[in-house]
Amino acid sequence: MPLIPAEAMPYFENMIYLPMVLIVLEKDRLIFEKGPFKLKKPYVEMVDKTIRTVQAELKETRLHLRRHHMKVVKQKSDDTFTEYVFFYGGYEEHRRYLNVRLRNRSEELLGIYLSMTAKEA
């Protein structure tokens, strides 16, 4: 039986995935700025708006973790797995994530955030 309640897991996972999504967005923004696009502004604006949305959600997640005395620490990483330690209520739980899963979930979240931004436009 896990020591960390299921309702806490989305917050822990946001602390893993949202920084990854931000890294991808920031790199893509540079590509749009420097790339041979005829009309760069719409792409850059969409990425900027998406970055702001992800940053806001990450800020909310950080506040939630702080209020509930929760913490995520990245541990070992190799070609296949990355290990994280979740601290909650005096307990710690070690979890290993397949790097492919981390990439796929980050890509999925990127699509969700970009589609949210597109709907707002």
pLDDT in tens, the chain (121 residues): 568 889 999 999 999 999 999 999 999 999 999 988 888 999 999 999 999 999 999 999 999 999 999 999 999 999 999 999 999 988 999 999 999 999 999 999 999 999 999 888 6
Instruction: Read off the pTM.
Output: 0.91
d(CA 76, CA 85): 10
Domain range annotation of the chain: 6-120
What DSSP string describes 36-70?
--S--HHHHHHHHHHHHHHHHHHHHHHHHHHHTTE
